[in-house]
């Protein structure tokens, strides 16, 4: 069977774009493992830069994980019931609320962070806490969780399922837990993957909101590139990838498992 030229062109373009994205990352990793990047391979390889990065910035790794986890928990607690309430309410009011919730995505992260600083800057303890960064991440990622759940609810006949459970005497909270949540599981998992990814990699919002005691991985990475030698900054990139990639693969595996269970 002959392969069409359009298929070959698509494969070639995809491969070139993949290389365009991956090669800079691989080059950065290579720089973080060399003794001296200017001298190249002849200088040899070392893990000393990675050890220095871990000694200097290990706290940002833990903080980024904590921020991402807290952001995910809050978006689940707010976004899933909120999405269900909007779909159940329907009408113009629900659409207006949905647009308001989506506004933080359209606003530049720096502007959103500045607005939060102006509003909560007087609360010293809160302003200097990790929770302040978490709230900013929740505002930024909440629309993605809600849109994922709303998209699933709009594809299933949730009203019939809800009315069927109600006719059997199930209270509202029980119908939500036992009927709605299992049916929107794919949307929840997809939203969780998006929230975790965005939270860990978010820089603009976090850079404006952070303090020296609430620095996260992306902010630390920017500081390393601005103030450290190239090898240390590149080693920081390697540490970032080692932490993020397994986490994203794990979340994606949970998403695939959830999808298989839903289909079965």
pLDDT one-digit tens code per residue, 30-87: 888 888 877 777 778 888 888 888 877 788 888 888 999 999 999 999 999 999 988 8
Identify which of 112, 115, 120, 191 has the alpha carbon closest to the alpha carbon of residue 150: 191
Identify which of 136, 141, 110 has the alpha carbon closest to the alpha carbon of residue 204: 110
Calculate ∠ Cα 250-251-253, nearest 5°.
65
Alpha carbons 227 and 219: distance in angstroms, whole number: 12
Q: Residues 6 or more apart from 152 whose CB is under 8 A from it?
A: 183, 184, 186, 187
Cβ atoms within 10 A of the Cβ of 213, count? Answer: 10
pLDDT one-digit tens code per residue, 135-150: 999 999 999 999 999 9
Beta pairing partners, 45: 34
Question: Coil, strand or helix: which one is 34?
Answer: strand
Alpha carbons 221 and 228: distance in angstroms, whole number: 10
Calculate ∠ Cα 162-163-165, nearest 5°.
65
Q: Residues 6 or more apart from 204 whose CB is under 8 A from it?
A: 108, 109, 110, 113
> Span 223-230, mean pLDDT?
74
Length of the chain: 264
Task: Spell out the domain ranges in the chain.
Answer: 1-46, 57-263
Query: Which pTM was predicted?
Result: 0.80
Alpha carbons 243 and 65: distance in angstroms, whole number: 9
pLDDT of 178 above 80: yes
Question: Coil, strand or helix: which one is 212?
Answer: coil
pLDDT one-digit tens code per residue, 72-124: 999 999 999 999 988 888 788 888 888 888 888 888 888 888 888 888 877 77
Q: What's the start-to-end Cα distance of the chain, in Å?
A: 34
Q: With beta carbons less than 8 A apart as the criterion, state whether 163 and 153 touch.
A: no
**Listed range (97-101, 154-158, 222-226, 235-239) with the worst mean pLDDT:** 222-226
* Cα R_g (the chain), whole angstroms: 23
73 to each of 66, 68, 70, 77, 79, how far by Cα in Å?
11, 9, 5, 6, 10
The continuous run of DSSP H or E covering 77 comes out as helix 48-89
Alpha carbons 168 and 175: distance in angstroms, whole number: 10
The share of the chain scoring above pLDDT 70, in percent, equals: 94
pLDDT of 175 above 50: yes
Question: Coil, strand or helix: which one is 189?
Answer: helix
Identify which of 262, 244, 263, 254 has the alpha carbon closest to the alpha carbon of residue 65: 244
Please state which CATH class domain 57-263 belongs to: mainly alpha
């Amino acid at each position: 069977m002959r392969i069409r030229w359009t298929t070959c062109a698509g494969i070639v373009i995809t491969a070139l774009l993949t290389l365009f994205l991956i090669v800079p990352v691989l080059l950065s990793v290579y720089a973080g493992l060399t003794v001296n990047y200017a001298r190249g391979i002849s200088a040899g390889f070392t893990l000393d830069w990675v050890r220095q990065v871990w000694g200097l910035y290990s706290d940002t790794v833990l903080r980024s994980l904590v921020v991402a986890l807290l952001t995910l928990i809050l978006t689940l607690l707010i976004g899933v019931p909120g999405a269900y309430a909007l779909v159940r309410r329907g009408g113009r009011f629900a659409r207006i609320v949905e647009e308001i919730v989506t506004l933080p995505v359209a606003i530049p992260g720096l502007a959103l962070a500045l607005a939060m600083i102006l509003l909560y800057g007087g609360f010293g303890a809160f302003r200097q806490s990790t929770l302040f960064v978490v709230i900013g991440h929740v505002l930024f990622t909440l629309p993605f969780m809600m849109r994922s759940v709303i998209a699933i609810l709009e594809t299933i006949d949730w009203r019939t399922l809800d009315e069927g459970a109600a006719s059997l005497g199930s209270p509202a909270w029980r119908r939500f837990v036992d009927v709605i949540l299992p049916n929107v599981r794919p949307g929840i998992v997809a939203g969780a993957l998006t929230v975790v990814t965005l939270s860990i990699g978010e820089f603009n919002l976090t850079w404006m909101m952070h303090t020296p005691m609430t620095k996260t991985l992306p902010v630390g990475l920017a500081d390393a590139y601005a103030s450290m030698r190239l090898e240390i900054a590149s080693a920081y990139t390697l540490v970032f990838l080692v932490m993020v990639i397994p986490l994203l693969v794990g979340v994606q595996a949970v998403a695939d498992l959830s999808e298989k269970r839903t289909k079965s």
